[in-house]
């Protein structure tokens, strides 16, 4: 029965964010600009961290890895949306839709674990500074990165395998600009109660608990920083506040979508813009570009590049 149903459902229609032509042009321009800015900002961070030996520490390695995930997250949904605006092409195959779900959950899942790794690193650095060197070694840093990808892959596989078992039997209009489980699930011909339980238990509760853990660790860090009002503390305070803003902006929409998976389409659509388009650009801005060490490293990099150009015979 499943097979027959799936063959009749060979593709989905993505309705996009709006059907008005003017709004579409507006979104096209805004999203293209944001996309370019996301790619440029994050690439700069990755290059700076790789090139500058002063930034060869766990925090910056993790931040560079976060930039790579952000670029991937921005690329997989936004780029299709941007090209669809140009070509007027709006359909996506069933497999294409599952692929989008897979990558969306892969990148967001990995990003969540990586954000936790970053907060763990900051927690040890600030609250247990004497033990930092023994706890956070380069091997631990590699292990954290590998663990975040493994968790991401396992989580996204579970989502796709569940989606594969669903019978789709008629409606095929996805009211969003990319395929995500909450919108696609609403097209399946099964009891939505089961679906929402699945989404709440595999995504919602996990996102919520990670958020609580992160919130806790940043509160502890901030309290510690307040008590030891030494010279470095205002720097640590601004770093951690900035980290926390990113965490909140990223988790807020995720938690909302997956804890109330059957909420209205409109809020889902607006919130999904948040974590697929705004977070990837906010991360570099908030985490890294405001950071003094990174700014200095980038200036050095620019000077090196300019000198290199001057040295070239023209
Ligand atoms: C990502 O993290 C690993 C593990 O620490 C590190 O070796 C690698 O250089 C990082 N990636 C980037 C682009 O910095």
pLDDT confidence of residue 14: 77
| pLDDT (average), residues 221-226 | 82
pLDDT at 146 over 90: yes
Question: Is 157 touching ligand 1 by the criterion CB < 6 Å?
Answer: no
Contact predicate 174/81, CB 8 Å = no
Q: Which of 265, 251, 183, 266 is nearest to 218 (CA)?
A: 251
Measure the CA–CA gap between 287 and 228, rounded to whole angstroms.
Answer: 23
Q: Which of 275, 227, 221 is nearest to 248 (CA)?
A: 275
Question: Which tokens go with 56?
Answer: 């060869």
Measure the CA–CA gap between 253 and 275, rounded to whole angstroms.
Answer: 7
Measure the CA–CA gap between 171 and 185, rounded to whole angstroms.
Answer: 11
| pLDDT (average), residues 228-242 | 69
Contact predicate 218/119, CB 8 Å = yes
Question: Is 114 touching ligand 1 by the criterion CB < 6 Å?
Answer: no
CA-nearest residue, atom 9 of ligand 1 = 61
Tell which phi-psi region holds residue 264, choosing left (phi > 0), alpha (psi between -120 and 50) or beta.
beta
The CA 218 to ligand 1 mean position distance, Å, reads 23
**Whole-model pTM?**
0.84
32-41, 90-99, 167-176, 214-223: range with lowest mean pLDDT? 167-176
| pLDDT (average), residues 111-139 | 88
Question: Is 65 touching ligand 1 by the criterion CB < 6 Å?
Answer: yes
Question: Which tokens go with 298?
Answer: 């980038």
The CA 64 to ligand 1 mean position distance, Å, reads 7
Please give the CATH architecture assigned to the domain spanning 9-287: Up-down Bundle (1.20)
Question: Which tokens go with 55?
Answer: 């930034």
Residues in the chain: 314
Most informative mutation of 65, 66, 288 for ligand 1 (most atoms within 8 A of CB): 65
Q: Which of 73, 66, 52, 67 is nearest to 121 (CA)?
A: 66
pLDDT band at 279 (very low <50, low <70, confident <90, very high): confident
The CA 222 to ligand 1 mean position distance, Å, reads 27
| pLDDT (average), residues 15-37 | 82
Most informative mutation of 59, 60, 64 for ligand 1 (most atoms within 8 A of CB): 64
State what percent of residues in the chain have pLDDT above 70: 89
Alpha helices in the chain (DSSP H): 2-8, 21-51, 58-87, 94-127, 132-135, 138-164, 181-185, 192-199, 205-227, 233-259, 265-273, 279-283, 292-311
Contact predicate 34/285, CB 8 Å = no
């Amino acid at each position: 029965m499943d097979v027959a149903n799936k063959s009749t459902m060979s593709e989905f229609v993505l309705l996009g964010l709006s059907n008005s032509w003017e709004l579409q042009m507006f979104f096209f321009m805004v999203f293209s600009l944001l996309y370019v800015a996301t790619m440029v900002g994050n690439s700069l961070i990755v290059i700076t961290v790789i090139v500058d030996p002063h930034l060869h520490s766990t925090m910056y390695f993790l931040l560079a890895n976060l930039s790579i995930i952000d670029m991937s997250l921005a690329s997989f949904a936004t780029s299709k949306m941007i090209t669809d605006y140009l070509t007027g092409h709006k359909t996506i195959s069933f497999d294409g839709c599952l692929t989008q779900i897979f990558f969306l959950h892969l990148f967001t899942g990995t990003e969540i674990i990586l954000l936790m790794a970053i907060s763990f690193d900051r927690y040890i650095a600030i609250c247990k500074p004497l033990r930092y060197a023994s706890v956070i070694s380069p091997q631990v840093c590699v292990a954290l990165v590998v663990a975040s990808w493994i968790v991401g892959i396992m989580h996204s596989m579970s989502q796709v395998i569940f989606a594969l078992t669903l019978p789709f039997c008629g409606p095929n209009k996805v009211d969003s600009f990319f395929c995500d489980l909450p919108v696609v699930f609403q097209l399946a011909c099964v009891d939505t109660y089961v679906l929402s339980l699945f989404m709440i238990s595999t995504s919602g509760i996990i996102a919520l608990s990670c958020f609580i853990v992160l919130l806790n660790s940043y509160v502890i860090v901030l309290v510690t920083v307040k008590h030891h009002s030494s010279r470095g503390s205002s720097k640590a305070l601004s770093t951690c506040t900035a980290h926390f803003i990113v965490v909140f902006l990223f988790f807020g929409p995720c938690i909302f979508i997956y804890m109330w998976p059957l909420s209205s389409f409109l809020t889902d659509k607006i919130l999904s813009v948040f974590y697929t388009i705004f977070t990837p650009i906010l991360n570099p801005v908030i985490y890294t570009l405001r950071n003094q060490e990174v700014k200095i490293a980038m200036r050095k990099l620019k000077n090196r590049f300019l000198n290199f150009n001057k040295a070239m015979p023209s």
